[in-house]
Amino acid sequence: MPDTVDTEMPERMRVCVVGPLPPPMGGIARGVAMLVNRFRDDPEVHIEVVDIAQQWRGVHELGRGRRLTAGVRQLTAGAVALRRVLAAGRTDVVHLHSSGGPGVFRDLALLLITRVYRRPVIYHLHFGRIPDIAGRGSREWRLMARAMRLATAVLVLDEASEATVRNQLPTVWVRRMPNGVDLDRLPAPHRDPAPAERTVLFVGWFLHAKGVEDLLTAWRTAAQPGWRLLFVGPADPAYLRSVTEQHQPPASVSFLGELPHAEVLAMMGRCDLFVLPSHTEGFPNVVVEAMALGCPVVATDVGATAEILGDDSGVVVAPSDPVGLAAALRELMTDPVRRAELAGRARARVHRLYGLQSVLRQHTDLWRRVAGSPRHDRRPPAAAPGKHPVGS
């Protein structure tokens, strides 16, 4: 293919989004589905999706052999689909979503395919472990660095990740962009001012990495009369059974399993306190949704969580610290004034920073900017002194 690119952009931007679609319903999958739905009839943008969702193993199947076999099948299917789109000339820019880890091998292969077809590509990293990975200088970081150098632009979720990539890889064009929440589709909060029972709500995969065992440990000392703790999200039956046998949760704890998203949002709009004690996160959408629904939040300082809860819009605690988590929960459960203050600030912050329309505008601006640059030029576009380009 020629090294030059037409200076005149097509009227309708053609974007190939490479990422997972539900099921299973995870943060990245939900975000990709949201993009597809919002741009479905857009006169300026046409989106085509290459679905790289896990289809050959469950999220709880962590054995090396099973992961390897499923990963190879996933890579093969994704590579074939991406090549088909690129060979047909149906895209101006590729937007590759990644959760890192072993998936970096797949990312490298897909990025190399875009290089063969000389299409610009945005590499979107949906996890907050980048500073830690870079600090260790591990093989994972070396692979990630190679992948980032292949991309035209790199998107990260939090300030620390942006600074790490900028410092470690100065030739990489890196920008920070939050996830968006469709505020128009959220239910109206409906809280009983004098309920018979108050609720602390956890929403997410029931996994060790989500801090569920820390939360059960903290609940032993944090639980207050008239309060209950609800776990909502898919769980491996064997792991759930093991955790409950070990922790022997009291009657005030309930495990509700996976529920429809609309029902989960309604629960957020009714609950009194939301908690996410994860050991690792990228940009947890559930935290933003809880804030938008007027729910005070306690969450761990991982990924972009502390930035999301900035300006005293929530309580941030250290990860893997059940004692600190218990203290934060106990303080809020016994202080309704403080809960109300946090809820008000949280709703205002989400409406100001994380509304979907604002984030979608950032996406379209970036897509057009990247698609308008020479295919072979991997240098960061120049920015005005003291300012950063789109999404920073």
CATH topology for 183-353 is Rossmann fold (3.40.50)
Is the pLDDT at 216 greater than 90? The verdict is yes
Question: 128: which residues sit within 8 A by CB, 6+ positions away?
Answer: 157, 158, 160, 161, 280, 281, 282, 283, 302, 303, 304, 305
Task: Give residue-wise pLDDT tens across range 304-348.
Answer: 999 999 999 999 999 999 999 999 999 999 999 999 999 999 999
Is the pLDDT at 227 greater than 80? The verdict is yes
Note if the pTM is more than 0.95: no
Give percent above pLDDT 70 in the chain.
Answer: 87
Cα 84 off chain centre by: 28
Q: What is the per-residue pLDDT for 376?
A: 39
Say yes or no: do domains 13-180+355-371 and 183-353 share a fold: yes
Residue 188: what residue type?
Answer: A
Question: Between the ranges 24-33, 316-325, 362-371, where is the mean pLDDT highest?
Answer: 316-325
Of the pLDDT bands very low, low, confident and very high (cuts 50, 70, 90), residue 34 is confident
Lowest mean pLDDT among 62-66, 284-288, 370-374: 62-66
Q: Which residues pair with 49 in a beta bridge?
A: 17
Domain ranges of the chain: 13-180+355-371, 183-353
Residue 90: what residue type?
Answer: R
Token reading at 216? 């059960």
Q: What is the per-residue pLDDT for 388?
A: 41
Of the pLDDT bands very low, low, confident and very high (cuts 50, 70, 90), residue 220 is very high
| DSSP letter for each residue of 131-197 | HHHHHHT-HHHHHHHHHHHHSSEEEESSHHHHHHHHHH-TTS-EEE----B-GGGSPPP---SS-SS
Task: Give residue-wise pLDDT tens across range 235-289.
Answer: 999 999 999 999 999 999 999 999 999 999 999 999 999 999 999 998 999 999 9
Is the pLDDT at 65 greater than 60? The verdict is no
Is the pLDDT at 66 greater than 80? The verdict is no
Q: What is the per-residue pLDDT for 6?
A: 46
Q: How many residues does the chain have?
A: 392
Token reading at 98? 């990644």
Higher pLDDT, 225 or 357: 225
d(Cα 350, Cα 289) in Å, to the nearest integer? 8
Q: What is the per-residue pLDDT for 71?
A: 62
CATH topology for 13-180+355-371 is Rossmann fold (3.40.50)
d(Cα 290, Cα 264) in Å, to the nearest integer? 10
Task: Give residue-wise pLDDT tens across range 72-98.
Answer: 788 899 999 999 999 999 899 999 999
